[in-house]
Structure 1
Amino acid sequence: MLSPIAWSTPPKKYGPWESMVSLLTEGLVKRGIDVTLFATADSHTAGKLHAVCPRPYEEDKSILVKVYEGLHISEVFERANEFDIIHNHFDYLPLTYSKLVDTPVVTTIHGFSSRKILPVYKKYNNSTFYVSISDAYRCNELDYIATVRHGIDTETFPFNDRPEDYLLFISRIHRDKGTKEAIEVAKRSGMKLRMAGFIADPEYFKKEVEPHIDNEQIIYEGHVFQVRKKELLSNARALLHMINYEEAFGLGVVEALTCGTPVIAVNKGAMPELIMDGETGFLVSGVDEAVNAVQKLGSISRKKCRESVEKRFSVDRMVEDYIKVYETILEKRKREEKRPWGFYEILTERPGYKVKRITVLPQEEISLQRHAHRNEHWYIVSGEGLVTKNSDQIRVLTGDSVDLPVNEIHRVSNIGGQNLVFIEIAQGDYMGEDDIERFEDKYGRA
Structure 2
Amino acid sequence: MRVAMLSPIAWSTPPKKYGPWEYIVSLLTESLLKKGIDVTLFATGDSSTAGKLHSVYPRPYEEDKEMNVKVYESLHIAEVFERADEFDIIHNHFDFLPLTYSRLVDTPVVTTIHGFSSRSILPVYKKYNENTFYVSISDSHRCPELDYVATVLHGIDVESFPFNEKPQDYILFLSRLDRFKGIKDAIEISKRSGMKLRIAGFIPDMDYFEKEVRPHIDGEQITYEGHIDSGFKKELLSNAYALIHPVKFDEPFGLGIVEAFACGTPVIAYNRGSMPELIQSGETGFIVNDIDEAVDALKYIDSIPRRKCREVAEKQYSADRMADDYINAYETILDKRKTEDKRPWGYYKILSDDPGFKVKTITVMPGEKISLQRHFHRSEHWFVVEGEGVVDEDKQHFKVKDGDSVDIPTTAVHRIMNTGDENLTFVEIAKGDFIEEEDIERLEDKYGRV
| TM-score normalised per structure 1 | 0.89
Q: Deviations over 1:131-186 (max 9, x none)?
A: 11111111112121111101111011111112121111111101011111111111
Aligned counterpart, 1:101: 105
Q: Distance in 1 between matches of 2:108 and 2:235?
A: 41
- Contact 1:149/1:313 (CA < 8 Å) preserved in 2? yes
Q: Please give the residue correspondences for 1:267-416 in structure 2 after superposition, counting only pairs within 5 Å.
A: 267-335=271-339, 344-349=348-353, 353-357=357-361, 368-377=373-382, 390=394, 404-410=408-414
Q: Distance in 2 between matches of 1:254 and 1:336?
A: 39
Q: Distance in 2 between matches of 1:369 and 1:427?
A: 13
The CA RMSD measured in Å over matched residues stands at 3.4
- Contact 2:384/2:400 (CA < 8 Å) preserved in 1? no
Question: Structure 1's 31 and 396: CA in aligned 2 closer, same or farther, altered over 3 A?
Answer: farther
Fraction of identical pairs, as percent: 63
Aligned counterpart, 1:221: 225
Question: Structure 1's 385 and 26: CA in aligned 2 closer, same or farther, altered over 3 A?
Answer: farther
Q: Deviations over 1:86-109 (max 9, x none)?
A: 111111111111112221111111
Aligned counterpart, 1:175: 179
CA shift at 1:434, angstroms? 6.7
Q: Distance in 2 between matches of 1:320 and 1:27?
A: 9
- Contact 2:347/2:364 (CA < 8 Å) preserved in 1? yes
Q: Deviations over 1:297-321 (max 9, x none)?
A: 2111111110011111111111111
Residue 211, structure 1, aligned to residue 236, structure 2: no
Q: Deviations over 1:177-228 (max 9, x none)?
A: 1111111111112121111111112222112100011111111111111111
Q: Distance in 2 between matches of 1:435 and 1:338?
A: 17
Give structure 2 stretches of 5+ with no counterpart: none
Aligned counterpart, 1:160: 164
Deviates more, 1:293-302 or 1:434-443: 434-443
Q: Distance in 2 between matches of 1:83 and 1:359?
A: 25
Q: Distance in 2 between matches of 1:36 and 1:146?
A: 22
- Contact 1:353/1:425 (CA < 8 Å) preserved in 2? no
* Matching residue's letter, 1:72: H
Q: Distance in 2 between matches of 1:444 and 1:188?
A: 75
Q: Distance in 2 between matches of 1:132 and 1:339?
A: 29
Give structure 1 stretches of 5+ with no counterpart: none
* Matching residue's letter, 1:374: S
Question: Structure 1's 19 and 260: CA in aligned 2 closer, same or farther, altered over 3 A?
Answer: same
Aligned counterpart, 2:53: 49
Aligned counterpart, 1:190: 194
Q: Distance in 1 between matches of 2:402 and 2:69?
A: 34
Q: Distance in 1 between matches of 2:60 and 2:383?
A: 47
Q: Secondary structure at the match of 1:333?
A: helix
Q: Secondary structure at the match of 2:6?
A: coil
Q: Please give the residue correspondences for 1:22-33 in structure 2 after superposition, counting only pairs within 5 Å.
A: 22-33=26-37
Aligned counterpart, 2:90: 86
Q: Distance in 1 between matches of 2:305 and 2:349?
A: 53
Question: Structure 1's 402 and 45: CA in aligned 2 closer, same or farther, altered over 3 A?
Answer: farther
Q: Distance in 2 between matches of 1:202 and 1:46?
A: 37
Deviates more, 1:328-337 or 1:344-353: 344-353
Question: Structure 1's 158 and 401: CA in aligned 2 closer, same or farther, altered over 3 A?
Answer: same
Q: Deviations over 1:41-88 (max 9, x none)?
A: 111111211111321111212212211111111111111121111111
- Contact 1:337/1:343 (CA < 8 Å) preserved in 2? yes
Aligned counterpart, 2:7: 3
CA shift at 1:422, angstroms? 5.4
* Matching residue's letter, 2:376: H
Question: Structure 1's 341 and 122: CA in aligned 2 closer, same or farther, altered over 3 A?
Answer: closer
- Contact 1:335/1:343 (CA < 8 Å) preserved in 2? no
Aligned counterpart, 2:441: 438
Residue 120, structure 1, aligned to residue 135, structure 2: no
Question: Structure 1's 401 and 129: CA in aligned 2 closer, same or farther, altered over 3 A?
Answer: farther
Q: Secondary structure at the match of 2:38?
A: coil
Aligned counterpart, 2:428: 425
Question: Structure 1's 439 and 103: CA in aligned 2 closer, same or farther, altered over 3 A?
Answer: closer
- Contact 2:169/2:195 (CA < 8 Å) preserved in 1? yes
Aligned counterpart, 1:249: 253
Aligned counterpart, 2:114: 110
- Contact 1:365/1:414 (CA < 8 Å) preserved in 2? no
Question: Structure 1's 396 and 73: CA in aligned 2 closer, same or farther, altered over 3 A?
Answer: farther
CA shift at 1:390, angstroms? 4.9
Q: Distance in 1 between matches of 2:341 and 2:213?
A: 62
Paired residues in the alignment total 444
Deviates more, 1:328-337 or 1:57-66: 328-337
Q: Of the candidates 262, 283, 288, which is equivalent to residue 266 of structure 2?
A: 262
Q: Distance in 1 between matches of 2:429 and 2:88?
A: 29
CA shift at 1:370, angstroms? 2.1
Question: Structure 1's 137 and 424: CA in aligned 2 closer, same or farther, altered over 3 A?
Answer: closer
* Matching residue's letter, 1:293: A
Q: Distance in 1 between matches of 2:87 and 2:363?
A: 19
- Contact 2:8/2:93 (CA < 8 Å) preserved in 1? yes
Question: Structure 1's 291 and 424: CA in aligned 2 closer, same or farther, altered over 3 A?
Answer: closer
* Matching residue's letter, 2:290: G
Q: Deviations over 1:109-133 (max 9, x none)?
A: 1111111111111111222111111
Q: Distance in 1 between matches of 2:171 and 2:221?
A: 10
Q: Distance in 2 between matches of 1:276 and 1:106?
A: 30
CA shift at 1:348, angstroms? 2.2
Question: Structure 1's 95 and 214: CA in aligned 2 closer, same or farther, altered over 3 A?
Answer: same
| TM-score normalised per structure 2 | 0.88
Aligned counterpart, 1:151: 155
